Structure 1
Amino acid sequence: MTVRQVINPGTLLWRVHPAGLGPAEFESGEARFSPHHEAALVEALVPDPKFTSTGRRVLPRELLEGKVASALRTRTELIVARLPFGADPAGADLEGVSGLAPSGGVGAVPLRNGGGVGAVPPRNGGGVGAVPPQNRVTPPIHGVSWPSERAMPHQMIVLFGHRCPPDALAPDRPIALDDEDGMRWLSGVLAPYRVELSGPAKPGPPLVFINYRTTGGTQEVYWLDDELRRRLGEHAVFRDHRSLRAGREFGPELLRNARGAKVMLAVIGERWDRTFDDRGRRLIDDSSDWVRREVAEALAHGVHVVPVLVGLRPKLDADALPEDIRKLAGLQVLHLRHRSTERDVASLVDQLFDEVPLLARAHAEYAAS
């Protein structure tokens, strides 16, 4: 018996996806969700589990690298065809689905057009009240749903990109699964399913992320990196060329650390917003410019961003900045003189710790360890 199911606007759906893929983007034309975060995680991460001698399932930590669990809210009403337990969603015949379950959240009722007692006769065969075929409206089917086999009795949903409105899903909140906080949350969610993480824990997000442009000199940046690591610890500071590992996809790593840091230092030299491409366009105006993307990611996720002006560099003009980083111009700045020495950089860090107590506390804890 074919069943339609209505997903009302405002419904929260969860999915697991690569960090380089947007939460609302479709991979290979489709995306897999569940209204239950447990089901989304188990179906995505524990497809063929290995068991320990105590009967627990093992999830290697390395499989979490670059993965994100995202919650999204539906913006429009979506309709899916409900499949029976064990059905293959890839083989669903969406064109043959007819009828509509009443709205009321994620749920479905059987159609009454399959014949037998209680069947509703079609109204397109002629006679009084018949609806001409050309006037009949069939609501679109946006995907399929079925009972999860690994996280019963929860439900899984596949939405097809070409069938869904472009603004059907709004990202609500992301959780990086490959950092300390994400793994702690994941362990708690998977514990009732007898799943445990194996392998060494990965260092959590950095305390400080250093954002800078390589043109115009980087010696001050290197000294700043060294001084912060001396006071806070090796893994507490992220600077791209030192922190990124060979062979890793750098884009997702940069953005994950930019949004996960407690503090971002935006080191702004004379050419920070005055570097141009071969067509004479400012790099900062290019939405793919990584200096801009890092700052925008940090601002969007509430990171404490501190602009550090180098030399006689004037403050930023908000009207001359792209919308996603315009807030940077209104933030209180620190200054680092041109041709700075290591002592100058140490003084800047002293001032930074005075201005940001979080870092002063972290320094005290590191020094006492």
Structure 2
Amino acid sequence: MPHYRPPAEMTGAPGKVTLARGTVLYRVHAAHRDAADFNPIPAHCLYGGGRFDGTSCDPYPYLYVGLSAEAAICETLLRSLPFDPAGGPRLLPRVGVARRKLSTLRLATDLDVVPLVSARDLAAVHQDSWLVHTEAQDYAYTRDWAHWIRRHTEPWAQGLVWSSKREPADRTVVLFGDRCPPGAVRSEPERAVDFGTAEGEEWLDSVLQPYHVRLSA
């Protein structure tokens, strides 16, 4: 595990990918929150938090989304959900999804993000797949690397994009609220799926089935 500090200078040339205006994004979130709201609460520098959250060391609002509904669902609901050694389906507690929904968002403007998808992308920021694949016990380190990448791509980098750890065929994005213009992300509430309804639960079950997951009591 590369538990080393980022170098003082960035000698590589980070890539730039433009998420075009009109790009559709997906987010699983608490039903009482607005889908387009960035999280304004910094994570602790050392404990808890997500992979690329802002912290008191580099405070910025952040928003995690998937470029597909499946990526958003896998990243949010299927983390650390083990397979049954006997071959049965993985069980996702119903109580864990009842107060959540899947929302559809759309970009109202172009946004430039740093790609962390290929080995070349990662090498350009002095890293390898550890940065986007490691588990939660290393998130204090990955947050520090995200802050370093931000410093060396200021002011243009408005987020990061990488291959979803739990749905590698799709992409996950984190957007930096301090670098995205107001209204850059707009929700489409008419397309939301509320997992607390019978219809939403049925829809979620159909998405989970190919991942060998079903809702439990």
Decide: shared fold, TM above 0.5.
Answer: yes
Query: Which of 131, 136, 146 is the matching residue for 1:87?
Result: 131
Q: Number of aligned pairs?
A: 159
Q: Which has the higher contact order (CA 8 A, sep 6+)?
A: 2
Query: 1:56 and 1:165 mapped to 2: Cα distance?
Result: 43
Query: Which of 22, 28, 33 is the matching residue for 1:21?
Result: 33
1:76-118 Cα shifts (integer Å, max 9, x gaps): 0011111244415622212323xxxxxxxxxxxxxxxxxxxxx
Query: Which of 63, 68, 72 is the matching residue for 1:36?
Result: 68
Kept in 2, the 8 Å contact 1:86–1:149? The answer is no
Change (3 A) 1:86 1:194: farther
**By how many angstroms is 1:55 displaced?**
4.4
Structure 2: segments with no counterpart, 5+ residues? 1-11, 42-60, 117-121, 123-128, 133-141
1:11-56 Cα shifts (integer Å, max 9, x gaps): 0000111112101101232111011110100100011103332242
Kept in 1, the 8 Å contact 2:155–2:179? The answer is no
Summarize the alignment of residues 343-358 of structure 1 with structure 2, pairs less than 5 Å apart.
Answer: none
**Which residue number in structure 2 is paired with residue 358 of structure 1?**
none
**By how many angstroms is 1:139 displaced?**
6.2
Secondary structure of the corresponding residue to residue 75 of structure 2: helix
Change (3 A) 1:192 1:86: farther
**Which residue number in structure 2 is paired with residue 198 of structure 1?**
216
Q: Do residues 47 (structure 1) and 79 (structure 2) align? A: yes
Summarize the alignment of residues 214-253 of structure 1 with structure 2, pairs less than 5 Å apart.
Answer: none
State the structure with more CA Rg.
1
Secondary structure of the corresponding residue to residue 38 of structure 1: helix
Residue type at the aligned position of 2:180: C
Kept in 2, the 8 Å contact 1:35–1:155? The answer is yes
Residue type at the aligned position of 1:73: R
**By how many angstroms is 1:158 displaced?**
0.5
**Which residue number in structure 2 is paired with residue 142 of structure 1?**
158
**Which residue number in structure 2 is paired with residue 168 of structure 1?**
184
The structure with the greater share of residues assigned to helix is 1
**Which residue number in structure 2 is paired with residue 9 of structure 1?**
21
* TM-score, length basis structure 2: 0.68
Kept in 2, the 8 Å contact 1:141–1:163? The answer is yes
Amino-acid identity (%) = 33
CA RMSD of aligned residues (A): 1.7
Residue type at the aligned position of 2:207: V
Query: 2:29 and 2:182 mapped to 1: Cα distance?
Result: 18
